[in-house]
Amino acid sequence: METPEQIRDRILARFPGASVAVVPNPGPAAQHSLLAGADLGREIATFLRDDPVLRLDYCSNVTGVDWPKQGFLEVVYHLYSMALRHGPVILRMRTADRADQVTLPSLTPVWRSCEFQEREVYDLFGVVFAGHPDLRRILMWDEFKDHPMRKDYVEPDDYEWEPTPHGDILAKARRHYPAPAAGAEGKGNP
């Protein structure tokens, strides 16, 4: 199979002016990935699917990544070719920010297997997929407002009782059960 650099160069030859970059993976897996711009994302995906050398006809996995310091959300697609038996090619797309510009092109029209997984990314990370046929929450209920897999998600304070708390749980338990005597803080076992 071609290296990500070769694929990037062929995409650039096919779509001049597209923003495509290789994101290196310095780890032992060395699975370098392609970072595609959101504007031509679906065209690039269609190219990867239909190109006779690549024929990446199967999207096995879609997941999201929250990058709070860098200030964007990222969606990662793992692509394989059933016909040519190679893969994966990893395709990434990034939103502009984490607040209101979180729209990315849906790749469900390209790979049907993305449908539920993009719904999951929408549910848990809050990425809005433009062109998705049925973009609803899939794991949480429809009335839910938060996106729980974001790093800054604040969970409901609903385990007020914990028999053996420690660490963060101990801090949480302390808020519910203040120390009975002054001076007990710090060395008291709850």
Residues found near other proteins in the complex (CB under 8 A) = 139-146, 148, 153, 155-156, 158-162, 169, 173, 176-177, 179-181, 184, 187-190
Q: Are 38 and 20 in contact (CB under 8 A)?
A: no
Whichever of 88 and 165 has its CB closer to other proteins, that residue is: 165
Whichever of 52 and 180 has its CB closer to other proteins, that residue is: 180
| Geometric angle at alpha carbon 89, from 94 and 27, rounded to 5° | 80
> Please, what is the minimum distance in Å from the beta carbon of residue 117 to other proteins?
18
Whichever of 85 and 187 has its CB closer to other proteins, that residue is: 187
Whichever of 67 and 177 has its CB closer to other proteins, that residue is: 177
Burial class (CB in 10 A: 0-12, 13-18, 19+), 180: exposed
Whichever of 100 and 155 has its CB closer to other proteins, that residue is: 155
Q: How far is CA 4 from CA 21, 167, 176, in A?
A: 9, 43, 53
Q: How far apart are CA 172 and CA 178, in angstroms?
A: 10
> Please, what is the minimum distance in Å from the beta carbon of residue 178 to other proteins?
9
> Please, what is the minimum distance in Å from the beta carbon of residue 75 to other proteins?
22
> Please, what is the minimum distance in Å from the beta carbon of residue 164 to other proteins?
10
Residue 128 bridge partners (DSSP): 103
Q: Is the dihedral of CA 35, 120, 130, 128 positive or negative?
A: negative
> Please, what is the minimum distance in Å from the beta carbon of residue 64 to other proteins?
16
Decide: helix, strand or coil at residue 122.
Answer: helix
